[in-house]
Amino acid sequence: MLDRIDCHLEVPPVDFEALSGKPEAGAETSARIRARVEQCQALQYDRQGCLNTALTSKQLEALVVLDSDSKQLLEQAMNRLGLSARGYHRILRVARTLADMIGQEAVQTAQLAEAISYRSMDKTQ
pLDDT in tens, 2-28: 555 556 667 778 888 777 777 777 788
Q: Coil, strand, or helix at residue 23?
A: coil
pLDDT of residue 5: 58
Residues 59-85 have a mean pLDDT of 95
Q: pLDDT by residue (tens digit) across 24-69?
A: 777 888 899 999 999 999 999 999 999 999 999 999 999 999 999 9
* Rounded Cα gap, residues 32 and 71, in angstroms: 34
Cβ-based neighbours of 2, under 8 Å, separated by 6 or more = 8, 121, 122, 125
Sign of the torsion angle spanned by Cα atoms 6, 80, 66, 109: positive
Indicate whether this model's pTM tops 0.85: no
Are 109 and 68 in contact, with CB atoms under 8 Å apart?
no
